[in-house]
Structure formats: C-alpha cells, structure tokens
Amino acid sequence: MAKRMRWQKSSFSGGGDGNDCVELAIDGDQMRLRESDDPRTELVVTSLELAQLLRGVKGGRLGAV
C-alpha cells in the first residue's frame, strides 16, 4: 500500500484552493516538492540539497546557460 503523504501548501501561494502553488511533504530524511497542477511529478531532495538549491536561487546562480 502506498504511503499517504501530508502535503503543506506554500504560504506564497495566495491561499484558496487554486492549483497554482508549490507543496512540500516530509518523508523521513527527504523532502518532496510538487506543483499542485501536476501532483504526479515530484522533486525529492534532502534538507541540505534543498538549502543549496534555495541559496543558488537567491544568489542568482541558477540563470539560463
């Protein structure tokens, strides 16, 4: 049986029940991220990997090549 995940919607998503938001779920030592409009596609990372990703985004180091 598949494990039921507890997804939390980002506070930046504007509230409501719309499908334009990012959601996060904790699964042991991993974090799962998905967009509400395509919940079958997930990004699975550790907390360290997510922190590195966020630092890269905030620092502007993830621009187009």
pLDDT per residue as tens digits for the range 3-60: 788 999 877 766 666 557 889 999 999 999 998 888 899 999 999 998 998 899 889 8
> What is residue 43's DSSP assignment?
E
pLDDT at 14: 64
More confident residue, 35 or 1: 35
The answer to pTM > 0.95 is no
What are the residue boundaries of the structural domains of the chain, listed by start?
Answer: 24-59
Report the alpha-carbon distance of residue 19 to residue 17 in Å, rounded. 7
Tokens of 4: 């039921």
pLDDT at 22: 86
Residue 1 has pLDDT above 70, yes or no: no
